[in-house]
Amino acid sequence: MKRVFWISLITLFFLAAASLIAVQYVQMRRTVEVSDNLFNISVNNAMDDMIEQLNRLKVEDYIGQNDRYKLLKFKRIEELNDRMLDIVKRNYTVFYDTALVNMGTTMIDSVILLPGAKATAADSDAIAQYNSLLTTRDRLLNSPEFYNQFVTDISEYVVDNILTSNSFNYTLLDSLIVNKLMLNGVDIAPYVGVYDLTNDKFLYCNEEGMEKKLSQSPYKYRFHPDGMMSPNEYFILLQFPLSSLLLKENSTIYFVISVILIVLILILFSLSLRALFRKEKLDEMKNDFINNMTHEIKTPIATISLACEMLQDPNIGTDPQTNKTYIGIIGDENRRMRMLVETILQSSKMSSKNFQMNLKEIELNALIESVVSNFKLQIANRNGSLACSLEAQPSTVVGDELHITNMIYNLIDNAIKYSPSQLEIAVSTRNEGSNIVLVVKDHGLGISKEDQKHIFERFYRVSTGNVHDVKGFGIGLSYVHQVVTLHKGTIAVDSTPGQGTAFTITLPRE
């Protein structure tokens, strides 16, 4: 697939994901705004109903049971006093006739007819009614201090005396508010406070320490019971435990869940892209492998074919030395093809789950010297050098001799192939604790940082375009990595383009 297609696909997907998140966020905000408005409308409707009901209540409905009894008693006494005063007004001449009656202070002492005084039946009846009412009133008073004391504590007409005392039934107020809120669909019990704006103080708060939050609350309602006169301004304040309707929390949760799902989709998309990229890369590597393999095999086949043709030429085939030369060429090219096939087969076998190594003790230094000797002629033909510094003592490791031999062979062969101009190779060993460290270093082309991440992948080759001046098909280093891993060792590469490469292998001795 083309690079532009992938870039376009990824861009469109991320734009779609970003748009989806934006839509979810805007929808959540709109939902929250609508829910807030509905919440505020419900609260305001509930409080309007509550204030209206509160204003319709009488004073005795605001106060506690004990004070309510006192107030009713007080009103009864006031009623009796009014009736007594009415009798006195209607019979003024009788009550203030000093020759007819004996009366002390009005509405306190009883009225008594003077001895020998002549009163009409109507006058006697008025005096009897007055005394009857006076007796009833005195029985309600119980004590002469009741009237003055109660007027000091509570008054029908002064709301300040009620709100600022312990007489006001704030539990009733809380109950009314909660009931009206529930009737309007708000099931959140609020914090409630009664605030005296004139004196800038709270008269009541149902939750200690909430006064500051209540004073900043937008839910403020004027509290002025009908018929209760006061120069002060009172407000009922509400503060809800949640900043807004529970739907805000639910919307936030849904938004977070949506974001998580989108992120999961992004992850799945990324994994899918990665798999597709890997598949495309494997296809390219497969094609490169086939091309390289074809190129690698084509050359020896062509050489063998040419040598066979030369041997079949009657003018050339009679010379023993020439025959020997061409036969040697055929043998070399045959070994070369066999090595290619063997490398592929060994790499394939090592990838199998049933692969087993033939472990035994190996003298690593001796094995390295044996492999190096096979390259002396090739290095000499290129006027190069291969220096060995085998300092590991002891150099015994437990491993598969065949694969370790191939591992060393591949590293040195790579060093030769990727050193087109300055062929200088150094092979060294040393001991590090219970491990043996093998280093193969060259001064060749080097490997870029990006290629270093992939050089141990099967079929991967450092890109050289369509030029096939470096033989191989991307299996050697993958094979080396497999050998090291199976021997529970590690391999590292240190390379700078244009300066050379060093492969460091660490193998456990046991």
- Write out pLDDT tens, residues 258-296: 778 777 877 877 777 777 777 777 777 677 667 666 766
The confidence score (pLDDT) of residue 122 equals: 86
SS3 121: helix
The confidence score (pLDDT) of residue 80 equals: 86
pLDDT band at residue 324 under the 50/70/90 scheme: confident
Place of tokens 């409707």: 45
The confidence score (pLDDT) of residue 71 equals: 67
- Is residue 442 within 8 A of residue 427, CB to CB? The reply is no
The confidence score (pLDDT) of residue 65 equals: 62
Longest Cα–Cα distance of the chain, Å, equals: 190
Verify cis geometry, omega within 30 degrees of 0, for the bond prior to 394: yes
Closest CA to 437 of 445, 427, 446: 427
The confidence score (pLDDT) of residue 490 equals: 92
Place of tokens 């509570």: 154
Q: Assign residue 501 a region: left if phi > 0, alpha if psi is -120 to 50, beta otherwise?
A: beta
SS3 192: strand
The confidence score (pLDDT) of residue 466 equals: 39
46-89: pLDDT as tens digits:
888 887 777 666 655 666 666 666 667 777 777 888 888 888 88
Least confident interval from 17-21, 185-189, 254-258, 420-424: 254-258
Does 358 score more than 90 pLDDT? Answer: no
Does 165 score more than 70 pLDDT? Answer: no
Count of beta carbons in the 10 Å neighbourhood of residue 250: 14
Does 504 score more than 90 pLDDT? Answer: yes
Q: What percent of the chain has a predicted confidence (pLDDT) above 70?
A: 75
Mean pLDDT value across residues 351-379: 80
- Is residue 245 within 8 A of residue 34, CB to CB? The reply is no
d(CA 448, CA 418): 13
The confidence score (pLDDT) of residue 307 equals: 77
pLDDT band at residue 150 under the 50/70/90 scheme: low
Q: Two tokens at 166? A: 């312990």
Q: Which residues contact 237 (CB under 8 A, 6 or more apart)?
A: 192, 193, 194, 195, 214, 215, 217, 219, 220, 221
Does 45 score more than 50 pLDDT? Answer: yes
Q: Assign residue 185 a region: left if phi > 0, alpha if psi is -120 to 50, beta otherwise?
A: left
DSSP state of 104: -
429-477: pLDDT as tens digits:
999 888 999 999 998 888 888 888 888 877 676 655 433 455 555 677 8
pTM of the model: 0.43
Torsion from C-alpha of 481, 483, 484, 486, nearest 10 degrees:
120
Q: Two tokens at 373? A: 């000797």
What radius of gyration, in Å, describes the C-alpha atoms of the chain? 55
d(CA 127, CA 88): 9
d(CA 129, CA 135): 10
Task: Please say whether the structural domain 356-508 has been given the CATH code 3.30.565.10.
Answer: yes
Is the CA virtual torsion 39, 45, 48, 53 positive or negative?
negative
DSSP bridge pairs for 400: 359
Domain ranges of the chain: 3-62+155-244, 65-153, 247-331, 356-508
d(CA 225, CA 211): 23
d(CA 302, CA 287): 22
In this structure, which amino acid lies at residue 313? D
Mean pLDDT value across residues 98-124: 77
The confidence score (pLDDT) of residue 460 equals: 72
392-429: pLDDT as tens digits:
888 889 888 888 888 888 888 888 888 877 788 999 99
d(CA 346, CA 350): 6
Residue 264, CA distances (Å) to 94, 119, 256, 267, 345 in order: 102, 107, 12, 5, 41
Place of tokens 């490997």: 447
Q: Two tokens at 474? A: 């991307």
The confidence score (pLDDT) of residue 245 equals: 47
- Is residue 219 within 8 A of residue 238, CB to CB? The reply is yes
pLDDT band at residue 44 under the 50/70/90 scheme: confident
Higher pLDDT, 298 or 147: 298
Q: Two tokens at 156? A: 């029908």
The confidence score (pLDDT) of residue 156 equals: 43
SS3 492: strand
SS3 398: strand
**What are phi and psi for residue 243, nearest 5 degrees?**
-65, -25
Average pLDDT of the chain is 77
What is the arrangement of strands in the sheet containing 435-442, beginning at the earlier edge strand? 385-390, 424-432, 435-442, 500-508, 490-496
Closest CA to 444 of 485, 397, 500: 500
Q: How far is CA 198 from the centre of its chain?
A: 48
Does 257 score more than 80 pLDDT? Answer: no
Higher pLDDT, 322 or 505: 505
d(CA 169, CA 162): 9
- Is residue 420 within 8 A of residue 445, CB to CB? The reply is yes
Write down the H helix ranges in 313-433: 320-350, 364-373, 376-381, 401-417
Least confident interval from 77-86, 161-170, 231-240: 161-170
The confidence score (pLDDT) of residue 163 equals: 59
Q: Which residues contact 38 (CB under 8 A, 6 or more apart)?
A: 245
Torsion from C-alpha of 370, 407, 473, 502, nearest 10 degrees:
-100
